[in-house]
Amino acid sequence: MRVEGWKGKQVFDNIVEAAMVGANAVMDDHVADAKRRCPVGKIRRGGANQMRDVLFTTKRGKVVNFIADTWMGRIPGSLRSTIRKVEKYNRVGNIRVYAGTHKVFYARFVEYGTSKTKAQPFLRPSFQAIKGTVRERIESEMRKVTEVK
C-alpha cells in the first residue's frame, strides 16, 4: 500500500524543532532564576596573575605539587555573570547550564560549600523549582505545530 502526499519527515522535524524551542525556553528561565538566586559578595580585589604553589592529592594517593600562574582578583557579581546556557550541537536536545569560567573558578565552592564555608546553592534549587513544569511546557510547544502543507 502506498500513501500519497505523506510528509512524515517534515512533520517529525517540525515537532522536534518545537520541542527544542520549548526546552530552550525552560532553560532560559532556569538561567534567569539561577542568576536571581546567585549570592553576590561585597569584597573587591584587583585582578592580577600571581605564581602560586599548588599542592593536592590525586584519587590514587599520589601527591602533586607545581607552580601555577593563577588569577587572584575578585569582582562582586562576576559569578552571576558567568551563568549561561550551552546547547551541545553534536547531540540534539542536549542543553546544559553552566556557572564559572577559568577566572571565576569558585562556582562549585559556592554551590556545594567547602570545609571552611557553608554551601550557598543557586543552580540546584533553581532546577528543582522548574523541573516539574518541563514536560508540560515542551508538550505545549509541540501542540502548536500545524500540519505541513
Question: Tell me: the pLDDT tens digits for 44-71?
Answer: 766 667 777 878 888 888 888 888 777 6
Residues 56, 114 within the same domain:
no
The reply to whether 1 falls in a domain is no
Q: What is the mean pLDDT of the chain?
A: 85
Residues 34, 91 within the same domain:
yes
Structural domain including 59 reads: 46-73
Residue burial 54-65, b: 16+ Cβ < 10 Å; e: rest: eeeeeeeeeeee
Q: Kindly tell me if the per-residue pLDDT of 140 is higher than 80.
A: yes
Residues 24, 89 within the same domain:
yes
Residues 36, 89 within the same domain:
yes
Residues 36, 94 within the same domain:
yes
Q: What whole-number distance in Å separates Cα of residue 108 and Cα of residue 1?
A: 58
Instruction: Identify the residue whose cell numbers are 532546577.
Output: 127
The reply to whether 81 falls in a domain is yes
Residues 68, 108 within the same domain:
no
The reply to whether 2 falls in a domain is no
Q: Kindly tell me if the per-residue pLDDT of 43 is higher than 80.
A: no
Answer whether 0.75 is exceeded by the pTM. Answer: no
Domain count, the chain: 2
Q: Kindly tell me if the per-residue pLDDT of 73 is higher than 80.
A: no
